[in-house]
Structure 1
Amino acid sequence: MVTLAMVKGTSIKQGLLLTVILVTGLAVALSSTINLLIQSRNYEASLIERAEANIEILTVTVAQALSENNSALADNILSGLQQTNFITHAHLYRYVSTTDRIDFFTSYNRSDLPPLPNRANNIEDYTQATTASGSIEIARPIYNPDHQLLGYMYIRASLSELNNYIWKASTYAFASFALSLLIAGILSNVLRRYLMRPLIEVNEVARQINQTRNYDLRLPPAELLEIDHFSASMNKVLDKLQLLMRKARESDLEHHNVVEDLESKIQQRTSALRTANQELVDTLEQLHSTQNKRLETERLAAMSNMVAGIAHEINTPVGLSVTAASLIEDKLEELQGQLEEGNKEKLNAIYAEFVNNINIVQRNLKRAGELIGSFRSLAFEHAKEEPSVIYLEQFGNIMVDRLSPLLKNPEKCKIELSTDDSIIKIRRHPLEGILTELLENAIYHGFKNKDHGIIDLRLHVKEGKLLIQCHDNGVGMSEEIQKRIFEPFMTSSRSSGHPGLGMHLVYNLVTQLLKGKISCTSVADQGTKFDIEIPVQVEE
């Protein structure tokens, strides 16, 4: 199946032939390779055993020559190796007990090969047979009858017999491989002819059906069971196809009638929808007009409330200043009369009233200036300020240190700061204003009529946003005040000189200038909590 899919457009004839040849070739090649590998391993093992047997015989025969220190006798024994081509080199080493050294004694080299280097320094590395560079190298110690070391026998044997064997075996394997492919090709050709005849007949009828669109034709039966089943199944499919085509023609006619009926109904409903749509458009226009009028009314009402609040807040200090100035004017006339009379006691009393009225004027004009400053803050005087880098932990500590002196009783009222070491980029002055108003609101309003409490200020950065949480356990606020906390001039301490613009300023700075979000939750006698979320640029 894999072979048939290897080349796009390959016919079944070619695929069958290629599959049989490929499978046969792979099987023969794999079996020949495995057989050659096993036989070569066995042949190599037999050569190693042969080398070990030769060296065992040599160690016995040269022991006397070593014990007598007779090199001529040793040479005579080793010269007998010329009768075989298996052993190419032989070294005899003598152990000198006085110096504890191994010295070269004598050697044998096959006449057609150069001698080998001295192996005395690493002779013990060859006590186990090793094969390398087409040779077997092996060494054995030589002992006397008292089991005292006399020396070492080293031989090198050729693996040429193994190489010749591998070459001949490979030649035979290749010949058997080629013969197997030839036989497989012949058998696959015979099998192809037997299998393809019924397939060709079935394919011819299928081609006629496709070209002529004559679905009355049927595939012929076949001798092969699988092809016969295929023909029968395809004939059933053709029967069902003819039935479906007939039903499709009937369905098309019915569909055509239904479509015409639907088109008529759609035209009627389209006309009705067009009329309803025009009525809806008119209604929406009227609704938009009403909404615009309502929004304009609400804006005018909010502006009126704002103007009324501003007028009320400024009118008080200005009115007091005017009254004090009028009193000063009256006292000036009285002062002129007393100067003419020269009454010193009266002059001192008038002077004291002068000082008191001037203090009233100064105090109320200062109050009016503070109110105007608050109004300027509402106008976003820092709107054009560029963002700057702020170290969050350092910034939080500075704000806490700056506002802690406002606490009435620092021993019982504390500001607890929790922050991380993030580095952010944001407009500095709006952020200072937000924290200042939050902490002042908690100090002045949260702990009114209370001499102890905790303000929990948390500054953290998460997913590119600065999260600010200011929570106090003070007196809290009523539900009515909580709903209007962010409205201008909303305060519970107007008699104490607080105009009620702080939280409105915070709301505008967070939502309008810094594009963030703010929320407030409060429970009477339990405290107030502000949650602020501002998008910032986090610096690495």
Structure 2
Amino acid sequence: MVDEKNNANIISETHTWANVLAKNSRHFINSSDANNQHKLKNELRKSITTGLINRVHIYRLNEDGAIEYFSSYNKNHTFPAIGDKIGKISQLRTVHFEEDYIELIVEITDDERLLGYLFIQSSLLEKQAFIKQLIYIALAFLLFTNLVVFAVSTWLFNKITQPMATLIDDVEQISQSKNYQLELASQPYKELDILAKNINILLRRTHKYIDKIIDEQQYSVFQKQALEHRLNTRTEALKESNQELLSTLEKLHEFQGQLVETEKMASLGDMVAGIAHEINTPIGLGVTASSLLADRLHEIKFAFENKTLKSSQLKKFLMDGDENALIILRNLERAANLISSFKKVAVDQSSAESRTFNVNTLINEVLLTLSTKIRTAKIDILINCPDALYINSKPGAINQILINLILNSIHHAFDGIDNGKVTITIAILAGQLHINYKDNGTGIEESMRSKIFEPFTTTKRGSGGSGLGMHLVYNLVTQALDGYITVEEAPTHGVSFDITFPVAIPATEEK
């Protein structure tokens, strides 16, 4: 790569000298002076100041077009003469390389008129020798410079590294001892002294930071101990609270059982109040009729004793007495039926025993005991039940379920609604009794429907509702009767309860 670059420089320089010399030769070729050849040779010797050019030939173009030798230049007398290059003009128009030199022929012109040719030969050895000399000088200078730099760097190294080594040793000692209260001594050089001061600042900050961390750790330990103490205290308090809560929960379960029993007695009390009201009417009518009959009997007795008794008076007494006796009999029979129905219902509710009974009769007895409330609420109850359906089950649980469902409709579904309607459908299928209880009341809100069977769930909070009626129904169905109950909105309006539980069908139905 270096040789190519050097050759390119020699070629460029050869072209430049060839053009300059050709231009300087025009005057001598055009002149008719006989000494022009000698003058041109002297001119070439004076003009060529470089050792690059070995030889120069000047060839003149005669009027007849022939080319003849005119003048020349030779670097020194030791160079042997060479033959003319007239026969190689066309070949040497471009640079021609030989082993130690290059050759080139250029035209000599004057206003685009060809006067002749200039042949120039440049040495390759001269430039290469000069370049080698420069390289040797550069290498020698580089070696000298390296020696000087090495000597200076060694001196500077010995001068500078000693305090730096001392500084490093001090830093290592501080690092190993972890005593960040120590400080580095002042340094002889400004830069090292600034570094030492900054390291001292860093050491002081590190010492403060470590002290801060130690204080925070001690505070954290203190906080942890306080937290553990507080946690232990609260754990003990929580244990005591849990124990109290368990005790309260047990009492609550007992109280809930008592409330359920109270709910049963409350529904029984409602029946007692209804029965008392129903019995009061026929008993009152019977008392009134018997009192009227006693008055008439006293009048007849007084007329008979005074011998003023008339046949018409006796006839009227007999007719009134017969009517009053019939009134007394009908009302006493009605009261007896009411007492009998209440007795059956009360006995069933107080007993968990299973027996064989007619389902239709059981439902009618329940309706009879609730007749006052049903009539006051102005609702119609439609019963769809086979007349001859006998089963063996627990009638007390069933009539308690029906009582609570009817009372729940009266108190909640038909509140503010006249002409309410309740439909009770009974069916027996595969040893299971299906009861569908449906009313056309206000229905149950979606938020209440999912927890209607939970205890103390009521929409009448603060208005006399205990929230245990439907919970009692759920317990009777699932526990006493071993069945299940579901609730859903009725297809039109109101609510629908589906109750299913297993029953036994007796071999011979009671008549």
TM-score interval, normalised by the smaller of the two chains = 0.3 to 0.5
